[in-house]
Amino acid sequence: MLTRSIAHTIVKETSIRLNRNINIMNDSGIIIASRDVERIDDIHEGALHVLKTGQTLTIPSNQSVAWKGSHPGINLPIVFQDKIVGVIGITGNPDEMADLGELVKMTTELMIKAEYMTSQMEWKKRTKEMVIEELLKINPSFDHISRGLNLLGISFHPPYNTVVIQMAEGTITNHTVVEKIEEILGEENGIIGFINTNRIFLAFSNQAQMKIDKKLEEIYHALKKLQLTFRLAISIPFDSLNMFYQSYQDCDLALAISNPSEEVISFADVELKVLIHQLNPYESERFYQRVMTKTLIKYTDTLESFFQNNFNIQQTADELFIHRNTLIYRLKKIEEDTGYNPKHFKDAITLQLAIWISHKMKK
């Protein structure tokens, strides 16, 4: 963990502040960083002694010749995870450096720990992205997925759910967002990562739908608190790893065909719309031309509100800010012009399909 890069940074920062020469030796006693560059790659016998004994070594000026490659000063063990990983040496009068040496040692160990944590986070991020990339292939390698999940210590069992979080264009996102979602998700409940700069992929594993809904509500409010603009799509549950590709396509399509103002879209809620989008274009066009009259085009918003409010006249009128008699007039006008009564279930389905096809054709 004590690399030349870290050692060089430590020497550069501390030497300037202390105005003293700092040497850092690895676990073989070789100087890997020093203000005195000519000493780099030399063996430091004082460091070898510290590595062997685990004790701080002070070298007075009258004893420096006894320690090959050493100068007067103090040499302290660098400890990381209960193991000596190197030695830090400060050149000068040992009597003046007891407290200073401990401070430099502590700073060095903290820097190594921080570097280790950063590298671990980066490694975890890359491994998760590798697993996600494999999951989203048409023909994924189950061996690669299993190996990656084992390295991450993630238990991954059905049922599965895919969630796609699409950030608005121009939204500045970073891994703090992923970390926040991961904190809510819990490492044992799935895997999360960026697919691109504006899209986050989230896979739930072995979770009841009620628990997923609760987690998604928490994620929604957390992202809102961060003042992010986003839309979220969730797939239907599935039981096989090779269905992640299709579930992702389902979420992608759900985002594409739903109203842009909708922030949370369940594929189950738009599945009928999806079927419309998969119809033969010629058949769709013929149906559209037959049903979609000028009156229906004019009152599309009225009809959609009427259907969304489950044929409730008063609720629809309130939502549209119109009198109920105005709504009744519009519905009657649609029936007269199209031959389909919006208040009859079978006719309502025909009208709804025509409206959805019109949305598809506009896209």
Judge whether 286 lies within some domain: yes
* Domain at 358, CATH number: 1.10.10.2840
35 and 114, same domain (yes or no): yes
Number of residues that this document lists for the chain: 363
Structural domain of 212: 155-271
Give the residue carrying structure tokens 């229906």: 296
Judge whether 129 lies within some domain: no
294 and 266, same domain (yes or no): no
The pLDDT score that the predictor gives to residue 225 is 92
| Rg (alpha carbons) of the chain, rounded to whole number | 33
43, β-bridge pairs = 30
List pLDDT tens digits, range 209-240.
899 999 999 999 999 998 899 999 999 999 99
Q: What is the mean pLDDT of residues 151-158?
A: 89
Tell me the pLDDT band of 65, cut-offs 50, 70 and 90: low
Q: What is the distance between the alpha carbons of residues 353 and 276, in angstroms, rounded to a whole number?
A: 8
| C-alpha 362: how far from chain center | 33
Judge whether 145 lies within some domain: no
What is the helix, strand, coil percentage profile of the chain, to 5? 60, 15, 25
Query: Which tokens go with 102?
Result: 């401990």
Residue scoring higher pLDDT (69 or 339) = 339
* Domain at 93, CATH number: 3.30.450.40
Judge whether 48 lies within some domain: yes
57, β-bridge pairs = 75
Q: What is the mean pLDDT of residues 283-311?
A: 90
Q: How is 104-120 classified by DSSP, letter by letter? A: HHHHHHHHHHHHHHHHH
Q: What is the distance between the alpha carbons of residues 280 and 287, in angstroms, rounded to a whole number?
A: 11
Judge whether 266 lies within some domain: yes
Tell me the pLDDT band of 85, cut-offs 50, 70 and 90: very high
312 and 207, same domain (yes or no): no
The pLDDT score that the predictor gives to residue 173 is 67
Cβ-Cβ contacts under 8 Å for 282 (sequence gap 6 or more): none
Q: What angle do CA 360, 245, 280 make, to 5 degrees?
A: 30
Q: What is the mean pLDDT of residues 38-43?
A: 90
Return the H-helix or E-strand segment holding 34. Answer: strand 31-34
Give the residue among 292, 290, 298, 196 at the shortest CA–CA distance from 248: 196
Give the residue among 237, 220, 231, 238 at the shortest CA–CA distance from 253: 231
List pLDDT tens digits, range 95-138.
777 778 888 888 889 888 988 888 888 888 889 999 999 999 99
Three-state SS for 4?
A: helix
Tell me the pLDDT band of 266, cut-offs 50, 70 and 90: very high
List pLDDT tens digits, range 168-208.
877 666 778 888 898 898 877 789 999 988 899 999 999 89
Judge whether 125 lies within some domain: no
* Structural domain count of the chain: 3
